[in-house]
Chain A
Amino acid sequence: MDLLNGLLNKEKRAIARMITLVEANDEEALRILSDLYKFSGKAYVIGITGPPGAGKSTLTDKLASNLRKEGKKVGIIAVDPTSPFTGGAILGDRIRMNKLATDPGVFIRSMGARGHLGGISKATHAAVKILDIAGFDYIFIETVGVGQSEIDIVKATDTVVMVMVPGLGDDIQALKAGIMEIADIFAVNKSDRDGADRTKVEIEMMLDFSCTNWRPPVTKVVATYNEGIEELIDNVFEHKNFLISSGTFLEKRILNSEAEIIGLIKDRIIDRIVNDSSNENDVRIYAEQAAKRKIDPYTASVELLVKSMKEVDNSGCKKG
């Protein structure tokens, strides 16, 4: 399969295969992505996060459907947890999006978190770029949704929609810390249920205590019945306009790139020292020493790091 041209021609099979390959850290695919990086950056990236059972997938489905009515092309990346024991995963978010499956202007991809914490997977950033290059106007990332610490979504997107449901009660207080830094917009889903207004008020009250230039709007929606979805999309547009008019849009993207670069550096170093089979024994040896209190872990980490740097120096470059 000619991935480079396939991607530029927006062929779904090429897009899909590229994502598979970047997930597997395939060098060739990453090189293609490096080459095509300059074509990315046009898509607007929206994070959908919130506690389990909040209806994130249904909401994403409805947001995407409404954007489709305006002729926009929509990419969706839905992340689900990976079993830490087997590496397997059941990815079930598509169930809510089956009607979009055959829409040529929509691309939906399910990803396992594959050991990555923070609500998205390591390859999610790359998958977003692939969809961006392939010409999707809006890209949604639906997070794992296990709890509050899905902070990574902020650094992977332009706007984050936090989905809540009535009846969380005390949970809102508990989530408070995690939520405030994440959410640009609140959606109170399943608002046809008792307690929706209360939840909205509680969120508003929480927002009263924070002073930022952008005050996140709180919108009641019923995703199942497509109620409030247009308003929610307007919220996204408003946030986008705010970012642009306040001059923070570029700054936000710089921060995102910074986070991504730092993340990649970490991955590369760890890969070099820990995951590299030739060094694997080294780590093990140091660990044994540390366990026997013959070396401390601080010194061990420095020595391992220095060692791996030397290797690079000696050979000029290391095998990939």
Chain B
Amino acid sequence: MGKTIRVLIAKPGLDGHDRGAKVIARALRDAGMEVIYTGLRLTPEQIVQSAIQEDVDAVALSILSGAHNYLLPRVVELLKEENAYDDILVLGGGVIPEEDIPQLKEKGIAEIFTHGTSTQVTIDFIRNNVKNSVRCS
């Protein structure tokens, strides 16, 4: 039996615009993945602890408030502290200016999906990039 890809979708910070997060959640479900949806107003600490307990392959974080430069790297930092970064792909989405993307990637965010990205692109990216080398020993 193959392993089901599990993705945690969260909205860190305070913004309440969850249309994109919900659309992605549905699309990933329809692509056969298990989506752990955690809702609004999560702290980076809550996201990382949830990701670990759920043993997800990826965390997808949607931010439209402009707080991405703080919140996204913070999640990576905490995953590294927990030695979980090597197993978990960190993805960002929302309103994120092009010019911020290189530095976010430098800080360990695998990919940023901005407004207008097709859900298929996100699905394919997750399928092709999950770090499953350590799985199914």
Contact = CB atoms under 8 A, between A and B. Distances in A.
Do A and B make up one complex? yes
Interface of A: 1, 12-13, 15-17, 19-21, 23-26, 28, 82-83, 86-92, 94-95, 98, 101-102, 107-110, 112, 114, 275
Interface string B42-61: 11011001101111000000
Contacts of B84: 13
B26 A90 contact: yes
A89 B29 contact: yes
B89 interface: no
Given A13-B84, A16-B55, A19-B55, A108 B30 contact: no
Nearest to B31: A88
Given A12-B53, A98-B42, A89 B37 contact: no
Interface string B76-109: 0000001110000000000000000000000000
A121 to B, nearest CB: 11
Given A87-B4, A101-B45, 9 more contacts: A12-B49, A16-B53, A24-B3, A92-B37, A95-B38, A98-B50, A102-B46, A110-B54, A114-B4
Contact of A87 (B32, B43, B45): B32
A101 B10 CA distance: 13
A87 B36 CA distance: 14
Interface in B105-137: 134-137
Given A20-B3, A110-B36, A112-B34, A26 B136 contact: yes
The residue among A13, A16, A88, A108 with the most chain B CB atoms within 10 A of its own CB is A88
B51 to A, nearest CB: 9
Contacts of B55: 13, 16-17, 19-20
B34 A88 contact: yes
A91 B31 contact: no
A15 B55 CA distance: 9
B35 A12 contact: no
A275 B1 CA distance: 9
A182 B137 CA distance: 39
5 nearest A-B residue pairs (beta carbon): A88-B29, A16-B55, A95-B39, A101-B46, A20-B55
B64 interface: no
A101 B34 contact: no
A123 to B, nearest CB: 11
Contact of A101 (B29, B30, B50, B82): B50
Contacts of B72: none
25 contacts: A12-B49, A13-B82, A16-B53, A16-B54, A19-B55, A20-B3, A20-B55, A24-B1, A25-B1, A28-B137, A86-B32, A88-B28, A88-B30, A88-B33, A89-B34, A90-B26, A90-B37, A92-B37, A94-B37, A94-B39, A98-B38, A98-B42, A98-B50, A108-B53, A108-B54
